[in-house]
Amino acid sequence: MKSPLQNSEKSIKKKSAVGKIFKVIGFLFLVAILGLGIAEYVYRNEKETPLYKIQQYVTYSKEDWTNYENNKRILASTPVESNITEVATAAPESPIDTLMWENAIKNKDYIPDEVLAEIKRYKARDFSKLILAENKPTSEEAQNAIIAHYKNEVTKLLDEYKAHIQIGTAYNAPLQSQDELVRVTAMVSAFNKERGNLGNIQMPLDVIYDFVQYKSEPNVWYVSDFSQNIPYDYKLNKDPW
């Protein structure tokens, strides 16, 4: 029969072994955290950091991965420098959701004077001469054009929010050069399954663009600053941002 002293020594050895195991686990955990921290620092200027990749694998659905892979494909096929020269024109004003502001006015909410002036200008615009475009990009083509234009800036936004671009009603726009085949103006918005309409998420993504086809590439759409005033697209933005 073992003495109390022997039992005590055995208990101490067990505690010591367990303590060593916890120390090893704790050390490995700290090494892993430190490794991720270093990796985040090393890749801080890259689009996809290790922690970002972990977040993708945890939250992405099959549809999100399909959209992500398509964005990567468009980004990889886009040349670094574009040989397309955009013609500088007087910038028109972005469409305004007047219904939202009218409700704010009815509720006697505070509205800055510059916003009131912008609403007044918007209501004075003549949209009667606009012609609906028969030839316009699909939502996928519009997204590809936007990605090709902004590259990583917008690709990162779409990936982060698991979003895709949808295009609204398009209107024929005057051609800006002899090289252009088609130019249309339309509003766009980012959507995802969880939150619906995200609007433009954040800059540099905008809510309105011109989409252009060139004679040299009649099957490819390019994006440009919008060149004309168009009405607010309530069908595209039927759900609030």
* Cα 226 to Cα 168: distance, rounded to the nearest angstrom: 14
**pTM over 0.85, yes/no:** no
Confidence of residue 132 (pLDDT cuts 50, 70, 90): very high
Is 144's pLDDT higher than 80?
yes
Is 166's pLDDT higher than 90?
yes
Instruction: Determine the pLDDT at residue 78.
Output: 59
* Cα 149 to Cα 86: distance, rounded to the nearest angstrom: 12
Confidence of residue 151 (pLDDT cuts 50, 70, 90): confident
* Cα 49 to Cα 72: distance, rounded to the nearest angstrom: 15
Instruction: Determine the pLDDT at residue 231.
Output: 96
Dihedral over Cα of 42, 48, 54, 55: its sign: positive
Confidence of residue 21 (pLDDT cuts 50, 70, 90): confident
- Do residues 221 and 144 make contact, with C-beta atoms less than 8 angstroms apart? yes
- pLDDT, the chain, mean: 79
Buried b (16+ CB within 10 A) or exposed e, 113-142: eeeeeebeebeeeeeeebeebeebbeeebb
In the chain, where the domains are located = 4-65, 67-224
Look at 68-72, 91-95, 207-211, 235-239 and tell me which has the smallest mean pLDDT: 68-72
